[in-house]
Every structure is written in structure tokens, then in C-alpha cells.
């Protein structure tokens, strides 16, 4: 191994030399530190105390929502709040006190808002909001006393306003400040604390279109926090505007017709699938969510047993009752006319299958053909028809028309309901003795009861499909999105279209039968008549089966309709929870909505004399024997309940 030998001293010399160089350079560092910290220390101390650069959030406002005629459904308004820039506040206590005096607000309230705000904000130099909902009067007072309130800032941010109050509130949804949990799950979308997020309805489903992007501005400020110079501006980008297919007039008519009831109305444009109205009652005023949500408002909404936040048109499932007879009729006409008792059948008022199944008219309808069976809603006729067809055929047409599956309208919480068949029952029940499909199950489904469960929007769409030559469309709510910045328009109209394999003859016949329900003298839907326009429809009274017999309530009233009969433009589904008979409780709502629609179209004849809707309605419509039906429900529901508990 090489020893250093005689040249060792050379290396040593160079190492010493290097040390001297290093020492000189370190001395240079120390000299510079001395200059910065000792000589100019006070200057930098001053600079750091008023570090003059602030970052100000620039809010990109959320997009507006409009109806089909460009009228505002949701817009933004300026929300003033009074905030503190803590770093500029000289004496916090006296400033808060002064603020309380100037605005006339209790000091305690301001203090609690401040501590709540402090808990939320993580970054420094962010405003601490102390009065979140300042009135313009308070803003003026604060501005006038600005010199006495150092560090107090008036902040303006856009907030949602619903100019029509409760109109379509479940469809539009609401927004709230993003929660910590949502912040985590939406991380990749770049949300920040304090951002607003759509929580339900359109606001939720079209969040990415509607949301504005926040920008920021770096500004130089003086010692009092006043802006002196803008250093860098990254402007906020406003959200896009949404144009809905809803018509405010029809929506309002629907909601007014449902006033003081609970239920739903869906109005569809038959030719396009556009949703003209989705009403769900009871409703709520969405404006309570703009600005600060009061705790008791929220409590009241969520605790209400009538669940005003739920959109019953999409999320409520109910047996369709006799409205389903139209679908059974189409199935029979399409499948095989020979299974039809063409010449008519005798209704004695009951049907025997192991036991007695009653028609709602105790003495019987006598001789009925399909037209009369639909017009007067005879159960016995449809019991027989259903048995002849078998459940799988009924299932085929029911599911083909969209029952038991979501329509895909694009709103959250849409329910699929149940279109039962043999396979469904096998999967649904675990006990073998409950898994086989029984004939009496078919009986119930034939008249729209039993396991069958649908949503109002499904029925409305099925109605539209039946009268539209069997062309099925997907109901849609958003027609297009406008980008105000780029002046572009994105068309979101649904082009989904499916021709169902149903012969035109069958559809024409059902349409004609449905017309008699409204137009014939003995029709159950007479109260849905609209002067000047021929209307077709079908009433339904859905068994409300509660296991708790103490809480026995009225049945659900249904009415589905379309008009004009010869060239249908609009299809409706009306549901009134516990409304009683469909022809009495639901048909008039259809009438009110259609009147508004056809008045706008100029097709309504405004002569009260010709409106013969006040005539007597056949009273004996489809009230099945309740007790008997209850037994049937218990057969299934109780063992199943037990299974769940196990």
C-alpha cells in the first residue's frame, strides 16, 4: 500500500490552503448575516411585521339555472359578510366591542362566530368571518366607521337565491359549504375549504358544469391592510349556465294542484322526452339554504315525517293500482288476442281462486269487454286476463315499458321500484316455501298490486311510450349548458330512442280505451276533462298496506293521462298519497296541469259552460276488500320481516 512519503507535506499544505479558503467563505456568510440581522435588522423586522403581501380569494360565481324559456330558476346574489383580517387588528377585544356597537349585534354572537371561523380556517391571512349575513345597512355602518375598525373588512361573495321560492326545490337541490368529509372524497377535483358544493338535485348532478373556479389575487397592502397595488391576478372563472326543460308555469300549476297534499306530478313532452314538470309535495323553500342555514330550519326539514326533502316523483315507490291495467291490456292485445274474452266476460263481483277475490263493485259489472273493463276498471276481467297471460308475459311488457328500472333522468336517489316475476321472487325470499310464484301473486299484479312498485316518473314515461307509437324515450331535464366565457353551448338533449315491439293495433286500441276513461259518461276519470282537448287516461287507487292496522290510512290516488288523444303532446302521472280514489283526488290535478299547458298552446277553450267536469263520478271505483288484501300482505311481509331480524 502506497505510503504518503515525501509528498505528504504537499497534501497537508494544500489542505491547509483549502481550509483558509473555506474559513474566508464562511466569514463572508457571517458578514452577510451580520449585515442583514444586526445592521438592517430593524428594517427587516418592520418588513416582517407588516409583511405586505396578501392573498385574496376571487370567487368564480356558480352558474345559473334557467327554465325552458330562459327564466331564472336559480341565480346568484351578493352576500355581504363582515370579516376580520386578524393580522391587521390592533386590539381584538376593543375592535369586537366597537363592531358590536356599530352594527348593533350582540357581542357574544360575534365572538362565537369568530371562534367558529377560527376553527375552520387553516391558512393564515385568510379572512375570519364574524357576521356572515350582514345587511346592506350594517355594511354601510361598518364602512362609515372604517377608521375606528382597523382590520375589519367587508367581504362580498355570491350565494344562491331561488327567485321562485319553493318551486321545483327538490329538482333543483341546494348547495352548502363543502364538509371536511366531502373535501377528502373530492380531492382530485381541486376543492378547497370554504368552497360551495351542490348537495342534491341538479345542483349535485351538474356540479362540475355549475361550479365556478376560484382565482386569487396577490396584493400589496399598507399597514392598515388597505390594498395598494395588485401584484398578480388569477381571475376566477364563472360556472356554466344550465337550461332545463322545465316550464315554470306547468311546474307551478303542478305544485299548486298538490298544495296541502303529499304526492307527485310528472309532466313529459311525449314527442321528445323533455320533462316539463316534476313536482313533489310537500316542498320546502330552497332559500333557507342560501347564506347561513339556520340549525332549526334544517332540523325541521329533516325531522318532518312527510319528508319534504324527498323527491317523490323519482324516489317514491308505490303500487300503480289500476293504472297498470293499461299495460296488462297492451300485453294481452299484443301477445295473442285469442286469450281475450273478446265478446266480453261476466263479472259477478268476485273471482274465486282458492278463496274469494272481490271486484270493487260488489254486485258485479255484468257483461264487460276490454273497453268497459278499462273504462270502469273491472278487477275480475283483469284477474282472468292476467291469469291467461301469466306473470312472465306481464313482466315482459311491464319491464319493456320501463317499470322496475330507473329512467336514468340523471338525478341522485332515483328508485327502481319492483317489476316482479318468478325469478325476482326466488331471489327476494330465502325460505323455499315463499320462493315459488303463485297464481294469486299474478292476480295481485294484474290489477297493479302485490309486489309491484313503481315511481311516478316511470308511469309517466310508460304512458308517454304507449301513446307515442311505442317509441320509448329517456326523460331528461337539462337541455343545454351555456359557457358564458367561451360563448359555447353544449347540447345535453337525450337522443335515446327505442321502438318497442308492440303492434300499432294494440297501442291504438288501448289509446281508444283510455280515452273512454275520461270522455265516456261512466268513465272513472271524468274529472280530468279539459275543454277543447280530448284527454285519455287511467285512474288508479293503490292499496296502502300498513302492517300496523291502527295506522290505517286512505289509499294512494293515481291518475295517468295524455292529450290530445289523436296527436299526444303531453303525458302526465299524478300521485296523491293517501288521497283516496284516483278519479276523485288525482284526476282534477291532471286537469289543472293540462289546462295551463293547453292554454299556453292556445288550444284551450275558455268557456266554463263547456267544461263538464262537475258531473257525478262513478263512485264505486276499485276499492278492493281491504281486510282480505291485508291477509295477503301479511303472508309475505311477516315471514320476511322475521328473516330480516334473524
> Which residues would be at the binding site for another protein (CB under 8 A)?
1-4, 7, 10-12, 14-15, 18-19, 22-23, 25-26, 28-30, 32-34, 36-38, 40-45, 47-49, 51, 53, 87, 122-125, 218, 231-232
Give the nearer residue to another protein in terms of CB position, either 26 or 189: 26
Q: Which is nearer to another protein, 6 or 108 (CB)?
A: 6
Nearest distance from residue 54's CB to another protein, in Å?
A: 11
**Do you know the residue count of the chain?**
646
Backbone angles phi, psi at 297, to 5 degrees: -60, -45
Smallest separation, CB 38 to another protein (Å):
6
Q: Which of 140, 231 has the CB closer to another protein?
A: 231
Tell me whether residue 121 or residue 148 sits nearer to another protein (CB atom).
121
Question: Residue 191 CB, nearest distance to another protein (Å)?
Answer: 19
Closest listed residue to residue 452, CA positions, set 470, 413, 425, 434 = 425
Q: What are phi and psi of 186, to 5 degrees?
A: -105, 25
Q: How far is the CB of 32 from another protein (least distance, A)?
A: 5
Q: Are the C-beta atoms of 640 and 435 separated by less than 8 Å?
A: no
Helix (H, G, I), strand (E, B) or coil at 371: helix
Strand, helix or coil for residue 73: strand
Based on CB atoms, which residue is closest to another protein, 2 or 187? 2
- Region at 562 (left for phi over 0; alpha for psi -120 to 50; beta for the rest): beta
Supply the minimum distance, in Å, between the C-beta of residue 475 and another protein.
Answer: 46
16: helix, coil or strand?
helix
- Longest CA–CA span in the chain (Å) reads 133
> Would you tell me the crossing angle of helices 504-519 and 325-335 to the nearest 10 degrees?
150
Q: How far is the CB of 35 from another protein (least distance, A)?
A: 9
| Cβ atoms of 582 and 321 closer than 8 Å | yes
Shortest Å, Cβ 193 to another protein: 12
Q: Give least dist CB 81 to another protein, A.
A: 23
CB-wise, 38 or 352, nearer to another protein?
38
For another protein, give the closer residue by CB, 29 or 295.
29
SS3 readout for 114-163: HHHHHHHCCCCCCCEEEECCCCHHHHHHHHHCHHHCCCEEEEEEEEEECC
Shorter beta-carbon distance to another protein: residue 34 or 496 = 34
CB 232 to another protein: min, Å: 5
What lies within 8 Å, CB to CB, of 577 at 6+ separation is 261, 262, 263, 312, 316, 318, 556
Is residue 123 within 8 Å of residue 255, measured between CB atoms?
A: no
Helix axes 391-400, 325-335, angle to 10 degrees: 110
| H or E, element range at 433 | helix 432-435
Minimum distance from residue 26 beta carbon to another protein (Å): 6
Considering beta carbons, is residue 44 or 496 the nearer one to another protein? 44
CB of 39 to another protein, least distance (A): 9
Residue 440 C-alpha from the chain's centroid: 37
- Give, in order, the Cα–Cα distances in Å from 72 to each of 63, 163, 192, 207, 248: 11, 7, 28, 18, 9
- Interatomic CA distance for residues 479 and 242, integer angstroms: 8
Q: What would the DSSP string read from start to end of 538-561? A: EEEEE----S-GGG--PPEEEEEE
Q: By the 8 A CB rule, do 96 and 111 touch?
A: yes
Of the pair 39, 295, the CB lying nearest another protein is at 39
Q: Closest distance between another protein and the C-beta of residue 313, in Å?
A: 44
Of 15 and 92, nearer to another protein (C-beta) is: 15
Give which of 644, 620, 641, 51 is closest to 347, Cα–Cα.
Answer: 620
Identity of the residue, 217 or 633, whose beta carbon is nearer to another protein in the bound complex: 217
Amino acid at each position: 500500500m502506497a505510503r504518503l512519503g515525501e509528498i505528504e507535506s504537499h497534501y497537508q499544505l494544500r489542505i491547509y490552503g483549502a481550509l483558509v479558503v473555506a474559513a474566508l467563505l464562511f466569514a463572508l456568510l457571517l458578514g452577510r448575516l451580520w449585515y442583514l440581522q444586526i445592521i438592517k435588522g430593524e428594517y427587516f423586522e418592520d418588513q416582517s411585521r407588516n409583511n405586505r403581501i396578501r392573498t385574496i380569494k376571487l370567487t368564480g360565481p356558480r352558474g345559473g339555472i334557467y327554465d325552458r324559456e330562459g327564466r331564472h330558476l336559480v341565480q346568484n346574489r351578493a352576500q355581504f359578510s363582515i370579516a376580520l383580517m386578524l393580522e391587521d387588528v390592533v386590539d381584538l377585544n376593543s375592535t369586537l366591542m366597537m363592531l358590536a356597537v356599530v352594527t348593533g349585534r350582540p357581542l357574544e354572537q360575534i365572538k362565537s362566530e369568530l371562534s367558529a371561523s377560527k376553527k375552520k380556517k387553516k391558512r393564515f391571512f385568510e379572512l375570519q368571518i364574524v357576521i356572515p349575513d350582514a345587511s346592506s345597512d350594517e355594511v354601510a355602518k361598518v364602512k362609515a366607521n372604517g377608521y375606528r375598525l382597523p382590520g375589519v373588512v367587508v367581504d362580498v361573495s355570491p350565494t344562491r337565491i331561488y327567485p321562485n321560492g319553493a318551486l321545483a326545490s327538490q329538482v333543483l337541490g341546494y348547495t352548502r359549504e363543502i364538509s371536511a368529509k366531502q373535501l377528502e372524497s373530492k380531492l382530485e377535483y381541486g376543492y378547497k375549504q370554504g368552497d360551495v358544493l351542490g348537495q342534491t338535485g341538479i345542483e349535485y348532478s351538474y356540479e362540475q358544469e355549475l361550479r365556478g373556479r376560484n382565482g386569487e389575487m396577490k396584493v400589496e397592502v399598507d399597514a392598515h391592510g388597505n390594498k395598494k397595488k395588485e401584484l398578480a391576478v388569477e381571475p376566477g372563472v364563472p360556472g356554466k349556465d344550465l337550461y332545463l326543460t322545465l316550464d315554470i308555469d306547468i311546474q307551478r300549476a303542478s305544485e299548486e294542484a298538490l298544495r296541502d297534499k303529499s304526492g307527485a306530478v310528472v309532466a313529459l313532452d311525449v314527442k321528445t322526452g323533455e320533462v316539463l314538470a316534476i313536482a313533489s309535495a310537500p316542498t320546502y323553500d330552497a332559500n333557507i339554504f342560501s347564506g347561513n342555514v339556520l340549525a332549526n330550519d334544517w332540523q325541521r326539514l329533516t325531522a318532518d315525517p312527510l319528508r319534504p326533502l324527498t323527491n317523490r316523483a323519482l324516489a317514491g315507490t308505490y303500487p300503480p293500482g289500476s293504472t297498470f291495467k293499461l299495460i296488462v291490456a297492451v300485453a294481452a292485445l299484443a301477445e295473442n288476442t285469442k286469450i281475450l274474452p273478446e265478446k266480453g266476460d261476466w263479472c259477478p263481483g268476485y273471482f274465486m281462486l282458492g278463496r274469494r277475490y272481490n271486484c270493487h263493485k260488489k254486485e258485479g259489472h255484468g257483461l264487460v269487454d276490454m273497453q268497459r273493463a278499462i273504462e270502469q276498471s273491472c278487477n275480475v276481467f283483469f284477474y282472468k286476463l292476467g291469469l291467461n297471460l301469466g306473470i312472465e308475459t306481464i313482466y315482459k311488457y311491464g319491464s319493456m315499458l320501463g317499470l322496475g328500472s330507473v329512467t336514468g333522468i340523471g338525478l341522485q336517489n332515483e328508485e327502481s321500484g319492483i317489476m316482479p316475476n318468478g325469478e325476482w321472487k326466488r331471489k327476494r325470499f330465502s325460505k323455499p316455501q315463499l320462493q315459488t310464484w303463485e297464481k294469486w301473486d299474478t292476480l295481485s299484479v294484474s290489477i297493479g298490486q302485490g309486489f309491484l312498485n313503481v315511481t311516478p316518473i316511470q308511469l309517466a314515461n310508460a304512458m308517454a311510450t304507449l301513446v307515442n307509437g311505442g317509441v320509448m324515450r329517456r326523460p331528461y331535464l337539462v337541455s343545454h349548458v351555456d359557457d358564458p366565457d367561451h360563448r359555447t353551448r353544449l347540447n345535453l338533449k337525450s337522443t335515446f330512442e327505442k321502438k318497442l315491439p308492440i303492434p300499432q293495433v294494440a297501442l291504438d286500441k288501448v289509446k281508444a280505451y283510455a280515452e273512454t276513461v275520461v270522455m265516456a259518461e261512466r268513465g272513472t276519470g271524468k274529472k280530468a276533462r279539459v275543454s277543447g282537448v280530448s284527454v285519455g287516461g287511467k285512474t288508479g287507487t293503490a292499496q296502502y298496506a300498513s302492517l300496523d292496522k291502527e295506522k290505517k290510512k286512505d289509499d294512494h290516488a293515481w291518475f295517468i293521462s295524455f292529450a290530445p288523444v289523436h296527436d299526444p303532446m303531453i303525458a302526465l302521472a299524478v300521485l296523491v298519497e293517501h288521497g283516496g280514489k284516483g278519479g276523485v283526488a288525482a284526476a282534477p290535478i291532471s286537469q289543472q296541469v293540462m289546462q295551463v299547458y293547453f292554454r299556453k298552446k292556445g288550444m284551450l277553450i275558455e268557456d266554463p259552460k263547456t267544461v263538464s267536469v262537475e258531473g257525478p263520478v262513478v263512485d264505486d271505483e276499485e276499492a278492493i276488500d281491504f281486510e282480505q288484501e291485508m291477509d295477503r300482505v301479511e303472508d309475505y311481509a311477516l315471514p320476511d320481516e322475521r328473516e330480516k331480524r334473524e
